[in-house]
């Protein structure tokens, strides 16, 4: 179903005086920031997430606490909302089909189903004009045996349900590969050739019901242990030609899927002089996320429209205008590792990294210029868990980097 224009505020549905309510499947931090952007514009919000203390549920007008496939929960959601979006790609496709039949839903169940499955996803990404990493589909023992030598060393990735490096095993020999596939319980996988990366980047686009497509400039991303650690967003973060190519590829993918909503596409930049670069070119497309993305969190503080503002606009059928970045920015992810209970013993007892109350040293960090702290309201700080992020904005890339490095040192994040 395509969207009529859903204006915010108490203009009333048929003059009833009701507030226009936007719905979101999933109550994580991305849902929270969507809810906050929608509320800032005057919408009411409803979140469906089984977790009683989910980050988005805590700040939404309404929170339906049922399973994603629960019929009553989905019915309640439809009663409440005028349109619905998602905040994570593993929302069951069947739920999105139900929702999409009754209300405008963006992204569509079809687009989400493709992003949920690396095998389907690769086929789409390959049509973007930028190559994917050489890969083989592994769904049977015969396919495992038939893998070409040049895919090793490689990374075996489960076709479904992977995120933050989960569901991935690095393999360097055939024996490794067999063991890794067993460890992954022989579920459908893809084996990708390990590529020599010099950098990673991502592009966020927003596409409306009428096909209008706007974008942010590519971000440069640093991953540690498979998890995004740092995003640098400023002029000169990537070679201009490459950045242009990445934007075009991301737009092609959105167009190809007839996508509505915010879409993030991740890319690898290959090392100069490597045989892989000679064969594939400088840029390889890695994967897409059918939603706002961690690498776009800086847009909240460094751009005149954030990725969440654009998610609201695409869903509600409001005008899409090209966002403008007004500050150089560096974003640092705040993982649970930084909380005292997770620090190695020597650091945990070192007052340099935490306050007396046992939280990271927010006061010292907030004393730096241009620092924006975002915490997601999660109670348990386990290792690798995304607890929040910190964006440093500045007039120049150099200033943003210098301050971000100072913040990283205060918090115990390794320099970059
Ligand atoms: P996300 O949290 O972004 O959804 P994910 O778990 O789906 O992550 P990928 O993006 O596939 O995983 O991989 C995680 C990281 O592992 C990449 O950002 C990159 O640093 C590294 N990586 C993945 N595939 C390759 C490859 N073929 N060659 C080299 N490095 C790779
Ligand atoms: Mg990724």
**Domain contains 111:** no
Ligand 1 centroid to residue 301 C-alpha, Å: 26
Last residue of a domain, one of 86, 105, 124: 105
In this structure, are residues 295 and 204 in contact, taking their beta carbons and an 8 Å threshold? yes
Average confidence (pLDDT) over 10-15: 58
Are 286 and 341 within one domain? yes
Q: Let me know if residue 296 belongs to a domain.
A: yes
Percent pLDDT > 90 in the chain is 86
Does residue 68 lie within any of the structural domains? yes
Sheet containing strand 168-171, strands side by side:
135-138, 189-193, 154-158, 168-171
- Residue 38 is part of a domain; what is its CATH number? 3.40.50.20
Least confident interval from 109-113, 369-373, 396-400: 109-113
Average pLDDT over residues 229-244: 97
How many domains would you assign to the chain? 3
> pLDDT band at residue 93, thresholds of 50, 70 and 90?
confident
Residues 388 and 373 sit within 8 Å (Cβ to Cβ): yes
> 392 and 251: one domain?
yes
Q: Which domain holds residue 384?
A: 197-411
- Same domain for 151 and 233, yes or no, is no
- CA 292 to ligand 2 center in whole angstroms: 13
Mutate to test the pocket of ligand 1, among 112, 276, 286 (most ligand atoms within 8 A of CB): 286
Residues 208, 336, single domain; the answer is yes
Q: Are residues 273 and 308 in the same domain?
A: yes
Residue 2's pLDDT is 65
350 & 369 share domain: yes
User: Which residues approach ligand 1 with their CB closer than 6 A?
Assistant: 133, 155, 157, 162-166, 168, 192, 194-195, 197, 200, 223, 226, 266, 286-287
Asked whether the beta carbons of 260 and 108 are under 8 A apart, the reply is yes
- Which of 165, 170, 204, 274 for a ligand 1 pocket mutation test, highest count of atoms within 8 Å of Cβ? 165
pLDDT for 226 equals: 87
142 part of a folded domain: yes
- The answer on pLDDT for 12 being more than 60 is no
Q: Give the nearest ligand 1 atom to 165 CA.
A: 6
**Are 44 and 147 found together in one domain?**
no
The residue nearest atom 5 of ligand 1, judged by CA position, is 163
d(CA 340, CA 356) in angstroms, rounded, equals: 10
Say if 207 falls within a structural domain.
yes
For 114-171, the pLDDT digits (tens) are: 999 999 999 999 999 999 999 999 999 999 999 999 999 999 999 998 776 678 999 9
Per-residue pLDDT tens for 182-225? 999 999 999 999 999 999 999 999 999 999 999 999 999 999 99
* 394 bridge partner residues: 328
Residues 265, 399, single domain; the answer is yes
Q: Are residues 333 and 273 in the same domain?
A: yes
For residue 147, what are its two tokens? Answer: 């893998």
The percentage of residues in the chain with a pLDDT greater than 70, rounded to a whole number, is 94
Look at residue 14 in the predicted model and tell me its pLDDT: 57
pTM for this one?
A: 0.94
Is 250 found in the same domain as 370? yes
Q: What's the CATH code of the domain at 183?
A: 3.30.1490.20
Question: What are 308-367's pLDDT values in tens digits?
Answer: 999 999 999 999 999 999 999 999 999 999 997 777 665 656 656 666 557 899 999 999
Instruction: Quickly list H helices, 292-384.
Output: 299-302, 307-316, 345-348, 362-366
Cβ neighbour number for residue 249 with a 10 Å cutoff: 21
Last residue of some domain: 193, 214, 244? 193
Residues 328 and 407 occupy one common structural domain = yes
288 plus 391 within the same structural domain: yes
In a domain, residue 7? The reply is: no
Query: pLDDT band at residue 89, thresholds of 50, 70 and 90?
Result: confident
Q: How far is the CA of 202 from the centre of ligand 2 (A)?
A: 9
Q: Is the pLDDT of residue 57 over 90?
A: yes
Helix (H, G, I), strand (E, B) or coil at 72: helix
Instruction: Check residue 197 and give its pLDDT.
Output: 96
- Residue 223: nearest ligand to its CA? 1
CATH classification at residue 207: 3.30.470.20
In DSSP terms, 63 is beta-bridged to 47
Which of 150, 160, 268 for mutating ligand 1's site (highest number of atoms within 8 Å of CB)?
268
Q: What is the pLDDT of residue 17?
A: 63
User: Mean pLDDT throughout 257-282?
Assistant: 96
Q: Among the atoms of ligand 1, which is closest to the Cα of residue 194?
A: 28
Residue 3 lies in a domain: no
């Amino acid at each position: 179903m395509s969207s009529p224009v859903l204006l915010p505020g108490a203009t009333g549905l048929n003059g009833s005086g009701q507030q226009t309510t936007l719905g979101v499947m999933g109550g994580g931090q991305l849902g929270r920031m969507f809810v906050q952007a929608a509320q800032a514009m005057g919408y009411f919000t409803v979140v469906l997430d089984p977790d009683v203390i989910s980050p988005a549920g805590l700040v939404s007008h309404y929170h339906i606490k049922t399973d994603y496939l629960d019929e009553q929960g989905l019915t309640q959601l439809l009663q409440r909302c005028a349109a619905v979006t998602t905040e994570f790609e593993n929302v069951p496709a069947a739920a999105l089909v139900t929702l999409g039949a009754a209300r405008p839903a963006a992204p569509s169940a079809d687009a989400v189903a493709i992003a949920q499955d690396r095998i389907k996803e690769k086929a789409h990404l390959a049509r973007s004009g930028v190559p994917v990493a050489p890969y083989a589909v592994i769904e049977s023992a015969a396919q495992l045996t038939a893998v070409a030598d040049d895919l090793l060393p490689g990374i075996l990735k489960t076709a479904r349900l992977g995120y933050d490096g989960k569901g991935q095993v690095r393999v360097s020999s055939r024996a490794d590969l067999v063991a890794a596939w067993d460890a992954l319980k022989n579920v459908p996988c893809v084996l990708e050739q390990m590529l020599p990366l010099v950098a990673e980047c991502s592009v966020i686009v927003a596409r409306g019901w009428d096909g209008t497509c706007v974008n942010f400039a590519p971000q440069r991303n640093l991953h540690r242990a498979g998890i995004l650690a740092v995003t640098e967003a400023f002029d000169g973060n990537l070679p201009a030609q490459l950045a242009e190519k990445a934007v075009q590829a991301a737009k092609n993918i959105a167009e190809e899927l007839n996508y509505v909503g915010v879409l993030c596409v991740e890319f690898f930049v290959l090392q100069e002089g490597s045989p892989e670069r000679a064969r594939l070119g400088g840029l390889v497309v890695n994967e897409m996320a059918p939603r706002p993305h961690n690498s776009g969190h800086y847009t909240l503080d460094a751009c005149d429209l954030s990725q969440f503002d654009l998610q609201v606009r695409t869903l509600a059928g409001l005008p899409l205008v090209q966002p403008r970045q007004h500050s150089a920015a560096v974003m640092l992810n705040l993982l649970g590792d930084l909380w005292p209970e997770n620090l190695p013993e020597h650091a945990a007892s070192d007052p340099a990294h935490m306050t007396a109350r046992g939280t990271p040293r927010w006061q010292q960090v907030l004393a730096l210029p241009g620092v924006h702290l975002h915490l997601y309201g999660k109670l348990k700080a386990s290792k690798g868990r995304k607890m929040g992020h910190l964006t440093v904005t500045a007039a120049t890339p150099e200033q943003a980097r210098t301050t971000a490095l100072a913040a990283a040192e205060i918090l115990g994040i390794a320099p970059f």
